[in-house]
Amino acid sequence: QAFAQTSALVVAFLSRLAFRPMSLFAASRLASLFDCRSVLVSLDQSKDTVRFDAAARVSDHPASTVAIAEETRMRDELAELQARLRAEAVLAKARRHQEARAREERDGEERARLEAQRGREEAAERAAAEARQREVQVAAFLQENGFAKGAAGPKHQLFFKTTYPLH
């Protein structure tokens, strides 16, 4: 959206710079380029020398002051537009940098969470394996010592003597 507004401002500014009719002063300067007298060399320099006050001539033409004011205004607008574009570019760069930093932080947190979960799962697997190993050891011990039904069953000895395993 900011890009669309910026491009619209640039197009509007450039459309103001389109070709405009020449002022009288500019037209007279252009015509003097193609004047034959500029090629001919006169011996009498006083006839060919024209003296005039350029400042007075510019101030006499209100169109030239308007043109100068318009040019100054357009130059100021262009400078303002360029400054705004630079500021927007700096803000966009800062925003991209901040988003990248936040993304890296989220990725780091996700990796830490997955690693912690993996550690918990491995600890649970180790605990289950140790419990199974203990059960096997207890069952083997009870079998060796004559407890036929495991930890729940009694051991029958001669003369009706019964021993129960401790739980």
List pLDDT tens digits, range 112-125: 999 999 999 999 99
DSSP string, the chain: -HHHHHHHHHHHHHHHTS--PPPHHHHHHHHHHT-GGGTSPPS-HHHH-----HHHHHHH-HHHHHHHHHHHHHHHHHHHHHHHHHHHHHHHHHHHHHHHHHHHHHHHHHHHHHHHHHHHHHHHHHHHHHHHHHHHHHHHHHHHTT-TTTTSS-EEEGGGEEE----
Model confidence band, residue 144 (pLDDT cutoffs 50, 70, 90): confident
Tell me the pTM. Answer: 0.38
Give tens-digit pLDDT for 80-132. 999 999 999 999 999 999 999 999 999 999 999 999 999 999 999 999 999 99
